[in-house]
Amino acid sequence: MSGAILILSGPSGAGKSTIIQRSAPHIGPFYFSISTTTRPPRPGERDGVDYYFVDVESFERDIAAGEFLEYAKVHGNYYGTSLRPVREALEEGKLVIFDIDVQGHRLAREKMGEIITSAFITPPSLAELKRRLTERSTDDEEAIRRRLQNAKEEIEALEEYDYLIVNDDLERATEEFIALARTSRLKPSRAERVRFRERWLERE
Ligand code: ADP
Ligand code: 5GP
C-alpha cells in the first residue's frame, strides 16, 4: 500500500463536507471514504454518494462478517467505514479521506496509525455551531440538541488530533485543509520507508 489517510472529525455542522467539496479540485487524486449508516437520509442526500444507507440488520451482518475497518454508534445510529474500498484506494496510491467521529478516529489509529494524519474541524464556538445547525435546517430540534451535546463530548478529544482547523472564515479553512491534504500524502508507512532506503542504497 502506498497511499495515505487523512481523517477529519468534528461536530456535525462544523463544515467538513463543505470544506472537502471546495478543496476537491486542488488536492490531487483522492478517495473520499463513503461510510455506511443506519441513519435515515436527509433531504438531498443520495445513497452511494453521501452514505450507503442500510437497515440495522444489514449493518450488524457486516459487523459480524468483519467488513468494517471501524464502526461506532453516533447519535443513536450506526456509522462505519468498509475496509475493502479503502484498501483498494490505498493500493492505487490515493489519499483516502475519512469524515468520522472521535471513536472511529481512535480505532483507525490503532489499525493504520502509521499512515494517518488527522485534523479536528470546528466552528469557533458552541454558539456558532448551534446557529449553523439551526440554519442548515436538516435536523429537527431534538436532533440538534443531541448533536450539540455530542459536540461537547467530542471536543474533549481535541488533543488526540494532529491539527486543528477553526472554520470561521470558510475561505481560510479551505486553504488550511488543502495544505493539510497535500502534506498528509508525504507520510510514508514504515514498509515504504524501508523499501525506499533499500532502493536508495542499491543505486550507488
Ligand atoms: P458537516 O459536514 O461538518 O456536518 P456542513 O458542511 O454540512 O457540516 O456545514 C454545516 C452548515 O454550515 C452548512 O449549512 C454550511 O453551508 C455552513 N457553513 C460551513 N462553513 C461555514 C462558515 N465558515 N461560515 C458559515 N457557515 C458555514
Ligand atoms: P452525520 O449524521 O451528521 O452525517 O454524521 C454524524 C457523525 O458521524 C459525524 O461526527 C461524522 O463524522 C460521523 N461519521 C460519519 N461516518 C462515520 C463512520 O464511518 N464512522 C464513524 N466512526 N463515524 C462516522
List the Cα angle 88/109/90 in 5-degree steps: 15
Answer yes or no: are the C-beta atoms of 79 and 134 closer than 8 Å: no
Domains of the chain and CATH, by start: 4-33+95-202 (3.40.50.300)
- Measured CA to CA in angstroms, residue 44 lies from 55, 80, 82 at distances of 19, 21, 23
User: Phi, psi at residue 177, to the nearest 5°?
Assistant: -65, -40
Per-residue pLDDT, 99? 94
The Cα 20–Cα 119 span in angstroms is: 12
**What mean pLDDT is predicted for residues 73-101?**
94
Rounded distance, CA 69 to CA 66, Å?
A: 8
pLDDT at 145: 92
Q: Is 130 in the pocket of ligand 2 (CB under 6 A)?
A: no
Nearest CA to ligand 2 atom 1: 12
Confidence (pLDDT) at 1: 59
The pTM of this model reads 0.91
Is the C-beta atom of 39 inside 6 A of ligand 2?
A: yes
* Residue 199: other Cβ atoms inside 10 A: 9
Compute, in angstroms, the gap from residue 122 CA to the centroid of ligand 2.
Answer: 14
List pLDDT tens digits, range 165-178: 999 999 999 999 99
Instruction: Say whether pLDDT at 182 is over 70.
Output: yes
Distance CA 97, CA 5 (A): 6
Measured N-to-C along each axis, helices 170-184 and 16-23 cross at an angle, to the nearest 10 degrees, of 70
Q: How much of the chain is in helix, strand and coil states, percent to nearest 5?
A: 50, 20, 30
Which listed ligand is nearest to 128 at the C-alpha? Answer: 1
Distance 22 CA to ligand 1 centre (A): 12
The pLDDT of residue 69:
94
Give the phi and the psi of residue 122 in degrees, each rounded to 5.
Answer: -150, 150
Atom of ligand 2 nearest to the CA of 80: 19
The per-residue pLDDT for range 119-150, each reduced to its tens digit, is: 999 999 999 999 999 998 878 899 899 989 99
Quick: pLDDT tens for 13-53. 899 999 999 999 999 999 999 999 999 998 899 999 999 99
Ligand index nearest the alpha carbon of residue 133: 1
Does the pLDDT at position 106 exceed 70? Answer: yes
Query: Between the CA atoms of 181, 155, 75 and 63, what dihedral angle is there, to the nearest 10 degrees?
Result: 60
CA distance 155 to 2: 31
**Does residue 71 have a pLDDT over 70?**
yes
* Chain centre to alpha carbon of residue 145: 22
Q: Does ligand 1 lie within 6 Å of residue 94's CB atom?
A: no
| C-alpha 196 to ligand 2 mean position (Å) | 35
pLDDT for residue 78 is more than 90: yes
Residue 108 has pLDDT above 70, yes or no: yes
pLDDT band at 70 (very low <50, low <70, confident <90, very high): very high
Residue 171, SS3? helix
